[in-house]
């Protein structure tokens, strides 16, 4: 082999190693979170940990069911509200708006996506929380405040991924439908939307991931009381907030239990990604 060939070989291997870094990083993250979080899961017991309803670190009682319930309720609310508005925004931008109007609005949605989560949290804390407290009652820091903030935060992700999926639907679908006498609105909801189904479902699944994982915005508005929410105005404490609130002062078993929460979150996120992979791979449409 001459020198040029050797250099080429080395450079190409170097590219490969850089690509491999992502896989290594993921394995490292999985390894270290499991190393810290699995032992307490076994010592506390999976059932007691996941289904236990009381979280009292001082008494060594670690049950995260209230937090799972809080995360589930907040995510469901956020996805319903943010998903609906986001999907309709995507439909508007992809199919209804003039190209000029869409070009005007799209950067605004990107800006919304770029706003740091702590700014969302701060905004919620100074405007939404007092508003809820004054007009609807309760402390203000509540499931409702969390849902409102989460829905605005996941909206841009949902809107932009859904829009991409809608734009990928071939023009012939729309033309065929219109030629058969369907109105533009029927075409949009009965032809284009179903054709973009798998991309849109993937967007929703990713949105769920974001809502479940969101921390700094939620911790400022949720109220931080580990209880199963019974009404929209109850203060709650999702899984991520628990880690964020207690990590800075926890030690020993308490800290390990926080890592165990991290493992629960991680398993959920990886499972969600597998779902997205499956949905996008199995897509027959488009």
Partner 1 sequence: MKRKLTEKILMTLLWLCTLGTVAALFLILGYVLIQGLPHISLRFLTTSYAPGLGLEGIWAMIIGTLLLMGLTLVIAVPAGIFAAIYLSEYAKPSRFLSVLRFSIECLAGIPSILYGLFGFTFFVVFLKLQFSLISGALTLAIMILPLLIRTTEEALQSVPVSFREGSLALGANQLVTLFRIVLPSAIPGILTAVILSMGRIIGETAAVYYTAGTVPQVPLTASESTRSLAVHLYFLAKEGLDQGQAFASATILIIIIAALNLAAQGTANILNRRLTGK
Site for partner 1 in 10-39 (CB under 8 A): 11-12, 14-16, 18-23, 25-26, 28-29, 32-33, 35-36
Burial 83-95 (b: 16+ CB within 10 A, else e): bebbbebbbbbbb
**Is there binding between residue 85 and partner 1 (CB under 8 A)?**
yes
Return the residue of 44, 132, 206, 222 that touches partner 1, per CB under 8 A.
Answer: 206
- Binding partner 1 (rule: CB under 8 A), the pick from 6, 8, 56, 60 is 8
Stretch of 130-138, 169-177, 227-235, 240-248 lying at the interface with partner 1 (CB under 8 A): 240-248
Closer to partner 1 by CB, 8 or 231: give it: 8
- Report whether 260 contacts 41 (CB < 8 A): yes
Distance CA 90, CA 248 (A): 40
User: Would you count residue 168 as binding partner 1 (CB under 8 A)?
Assistant: no
Q: What part of residues 102-131 is at the interface with partner 1 (CB under 8 A)?
A: 105, 107-112, 114-123, 125-127
State in angstroms the smallest separation of the CB of 159 from partner 1: 7
* Interatomic CA distance for residues 237 and 71, integer angstroms: 8
Residue 99 interacting with partner 1 (CB under 8 A): no
CB atoms closer than 10 angstroms to residue 275 = 16
**Which residues between 170 and 199 bind partner 1 (CB under 8 A)?**
183, 185-186, 189
Contacts with partner 1 by CB under 8 A: the residue count is 83
* CA separation for the pair 140, 128 (Å, rounded): 8
Q: Using H for helix, E for strand and C for coil, what is the string for 177-242?
A: HHHCCCCHHHHHHHHHHHHCHHHHHHHHHHHHHHHHHCCHHHHHHCECCCCCCCCCCCCECCHHHH
Task: Tell me if residue 28 falls in helix, strand or coil.
Answer: helix
- Asked whether position 213 contacts partner 1 by CB under 8 A, the answer is yes
Site string for partner 1, 148-167 (x = CB under 8 A): ----x--xx--x--------
By C-beta, is 90 or 143 nearer to partner 1? 90
């Amino acid at each position: 082999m001459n020198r040029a060939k050797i250099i080429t070989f080395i450079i190409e291997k170097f590219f490969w190693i850089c690509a491999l870094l992502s896989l290594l990083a993921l394995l490292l993250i999985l390894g270290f979170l499991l190393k810290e979080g699995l032992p307490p899961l076994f010592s506390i017991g999976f059932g007691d940990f996941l289904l236990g309803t009381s979280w009292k670190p001082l008494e060594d009682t670690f049950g995260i069911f209230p937090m799972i319930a809080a995360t589930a309720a907040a995510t469901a609310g956020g996805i319903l509200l943010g998903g609906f508005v986001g999907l309709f925004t995507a439909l508007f931008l992809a199919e209804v708006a003039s190209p000029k109007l869409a070009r005007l609005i799209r950067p605004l949605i990107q800006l919304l996506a770029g706003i740091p989560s702590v700014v969302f949290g701060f905004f919620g804390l100074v405007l939404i929380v007092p508003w809820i407290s004054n007009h609807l009652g309760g402390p203000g820091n509540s499931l409702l405040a969390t849902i409102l903030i989460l829905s605005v935060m996941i909206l841009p992700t949902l809107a932009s991924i859904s829009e991409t999926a809608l734009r990928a639907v071939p023009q012939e679908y729309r033309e065929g439908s219109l030629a058969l006498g369907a109105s533009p609105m029927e075409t949009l909801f009965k032809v284009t939307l179903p054709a973009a189904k798998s991309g849109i479902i993937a967007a929703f699944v990713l949105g769920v991931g974001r809502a479940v994982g969101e921390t700094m915005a939620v911790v400022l508005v949720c109220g931080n009381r580990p209880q199963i929410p019974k009404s929209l105005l109850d203060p709650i404490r999702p899984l991520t907030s628990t880690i964020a609130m207690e990590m800075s002062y926890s030690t020993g078993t308490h800290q390990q239990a926080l890592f165990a929460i991290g493992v629960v979150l991680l398993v959920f996120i990886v499972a969600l990604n597998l779902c997205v992979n499956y949905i996008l791979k199995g897509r027959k449409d488009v």
